[in-house]
Amino acid sequence: MSAAFAVKSTETRSSPPPAAQAARSDLAIDCKIDKLFYGDFLAVRDSHVPIEKGKIVGFIGPSGCGKSTVLRSLNRMNDLIPSFRFEGHVHFMGQDIYARNVDPVVVRRHIGMVFQQPNPFSMSIYDNVAFGLRLNRFKGNLDERVEHALRRAALWDEVKDKLKNNGLSLSGGQQQRLCIARAIATEPTVLLMDEPCSALDPIATRRVEELMLELKKDYTIAIVTHNMQQAQRVADVTAFFSVDISQGGRTGYLVEMGPTEQIFNDPREQLTKQYISGQFS
């Protein structure tokens, strides 16, 4: 493993011209991580994660395997960490989002994100959903778009009479659906979800999962989950990451990726089989 990774030629960011990359037009995002560092710490290596349009891709793996890090590198959320360094490419809409001339703020307006902890802003439910639209200086009918987003997030009926109430006054599950409404109000093409149900009870979890299956019609979704049943329930494609401690560090990498059915029933790698069957976590 270490040898393969040592000789691997790292593509520089600008080398592959966009035209040559358009080989697979069925991909929403083509993420190829050669090395991802936090300072000197190699957090993720050698992970090629193509994300197909209109599919739900589940990221599973043990704690510390870098699955959240990989997800966050898809909309440059890792830029918040000053020591973050990325080698590889993430192709989105025909461009490498790590190219020098790309503005991460614009990238994030196209790739929405839902976080582990529900994090509505301390403002009204309406303003939460309208937030992204106002950021983008949306000129159309704001009320209509807010209602549409709330309906898509299966929250409208519960909040339509109290749109002026603070978003934080909702229950945890409602808050998470509000965050989903906020994320889809601007109609991004991809939705990233970082363990969106880990702070929710089973009933709220079920509602969010139903919502994801519903949203799949219009969005490409990448979801990190700790819960393998959840991956089986919602993901079309599953990516299994593991952590390599052989070189002294704790470096995450992609073990295998394939249709969820195949990953869970007929994994190619021994490691995947062990993880799926609960032999380690």
Q: Which residues of this protein are in contact with other proteins, per CB under 8 A?
A: 75, 77, 80, 105-106, 108-109, 112-113, 115, 117, 119-123, 131-132, 135-136, 179, 182-183, 186
The 3-state DSSP class for residue 50 equals strand
Q: Rounded to the nearest whole angstrom, what is the least distance from the CB of residue 279 to other proteins in the complex?
A: 34
Q: Rounded to the nearest whole angstrom, what is the least distance from the CB of residue 144 to other proteins in the complex?
A: 20
The 3-state DSSP class for residue 272 equals helix
**Dihedral pair phi/psi, residue 90, rounded to 5°:** -130, 105
Q: Rounded to the nearest whole angstrom, what is the least distance from the CB of residue 213 to other proteins in the complex?
A: 22
Cα separation of 202 and 200, whole Å? 7
Compute the CA torsion angle 69, 217, 233, 30 (nearest 10 deg): -30
Q: Of 120 and 173, which has the nearer Cβ to other proteins? A: 120
Q: Of 136 and 171, which has the nearer Cβ to other proteins? A: 136
Q: Of 42 and 146, which has the nearer Cβ to other proteins? A: 146
Q: Of 153 and 255, which has the nearer Cβ to other proteins? A: 153
Bridging pattern class, strands 220-224 and 27-38: unpaired
Compute the CA torsion angle 192, 228, 207, 67 (nearest 10 deg): -20
Q: Of 122 and 270, which has the nearer Cβ to other proteins? A: 122
Q: Rounded to the nearest whole angstrom, what is the least distance from the CB of residue 234 to other proteins in the complex?
A: 21
In one letter, which amino acid is 49?
A: V
- State how far the alpha carbon of 152 is from the alpha carbons of 41, 107, 160, in Å: 41, 23, 13
Show the tokens assigned to 236.
Answer: 């079309």
Q: Rounded to the nearest whole angstrom, what is the least distance from the CB of residue 87 to other proteins in the complex?
A: 22
